[in-house]
Amino acid sequence: MLEIRHANQRGRAEHGWLSSRHTFSFAHYHDPKQNGFSDLLVINDDRVAPAQGFGKHPHRDMEIFSYVLEGALEHKDSMGTGSVIVPGDIQLMSAGTGVAHSEYNHSKSEPVHFLQIWIAPAHMGTTPRYQQRHFGDEQKRGKLRLVLSPDGADDSLVVQQDTRVYAGLFNGDETARVELAGNRYAYVHVARGSVTVNGVELGEGDGARVRGEEALTFAQGHDAEVLVFDLRDNEVSELWK
């Protein structure tokens, strides 16, 4: 079963320098029916004005990753990491016992568009760490590329939870299928374009909770970019209960 959440149903925040859409409850947006799904707690679709961004602020006990769609995002943190994230890069920060970071638009003239995603960790109080890797379009074109996993399979980044994340690009006749083990949940987020999932059309910004499906088939894409989360079969993470 696919439970669709359309893009226009998301929470909305406008701060001048930041235009954000919240798939799940976040900050001043709260919907008791949208407190994450399994261990997936946050999908924020953020557009940040040139030379603006999120000043230094702390996190702990959270797996936080950024997925840039357009532009460039500049990252700095209290672990001494400094990097610029561009389309194709996956940035994963495991906050663990505590880390402070900032995320700014690297450009003084162009906006940056990215997704910030939070996943609840399996264990509290771990050592903070930072990972970043590039996955080019050729690795995602017409397929679902594993980008995050608990064991680093297929050269993916290591996330500290029983979660697997796939990224894919679909256009025209391109199709791909991902199997879901028994009793697993999944969440699909369409970052841009449109695509059908098990025959159901989803547009840009749409998402779908998935329960009771053995597999997901992606087809009929129109410049589509998607993220797929393979999740444990619990409705809401223990962190949000």
- Model pLDDT for residues 18-42, shown as the tens digit of each residue: 999 999 999 999 999 999 999 999 9
Domain spans of the chain, in order of start:
2-240
234 band by pLDDT with thresholds 50, 70 and 90: confident
What was the pLDDT predicted at 182? 84
According to the model, what pLDDT value does residue 235 have? 78
Q: What is the pLDDT of residue 183?
A: 86
Is residue 47 over pLDDT 70? yes
Q: Give dist(CA 159, CA 93) in Å, integer.
A: 9
Share of the chain above pLDDT 90, in %: 94
pLDDT at 122 over 60: yes
Looking at the domain 2-240, which fold is it?
Jelly Rolls (2.60.120)
DSSP 83: E
Q: What band does 111 get if pLDDT is binned at 50, 70 and 90?
A: very high
Residue 189 buriedness (CB in 10 A; 0-12 / 13-18 / 19+):
buried
C-beta separation of 99 from 59 below 8 A:
yes
- Residue 119 · residue 41 · CB < 8 Å: yes
CB 195 within 8 A of CB 169: no
Predicted TM-score (pTM) of the model is: 0.96
Q: How far apart are CA 11 and CA 57, in angstroms?
A: 22
